[in-house]
Amino acid sequence: MSIGWNPFFKNEKKTCELHIIHNFNNINFYGANLKFNILGYIRPELDYTTLEALIKDINIDIDVAKDYLSKTGYQNFKAQLN
């Protein structure tokens, strides 16, 4: 999840963007009600010089999140979803 101004895109309002790691087929979440837990912090918001650098860091964030979510302490949260 990104909470902030997204300086690369020059947002004028603070936003909250949830990144869903699981791949769902043909599902559009726009307008849907979602429940989620904030379980940690990965990195500060940065202003990127290129879109490619932003995408690279997002992919690193995904890897870090998956690593944390695979740990025993986080499995209880995953079990709540089933």
The reply to whether 17 belongs to the active site is yes
Residues 6+ apart with CB under 8 A from 77: 37, 39, 69
Catalytic residue, candidates 12, 17, 45, 52: 17
Q: What are the E-state strand segments in the chain?
A: 2-4, 15-17
Catalytic positions are 17
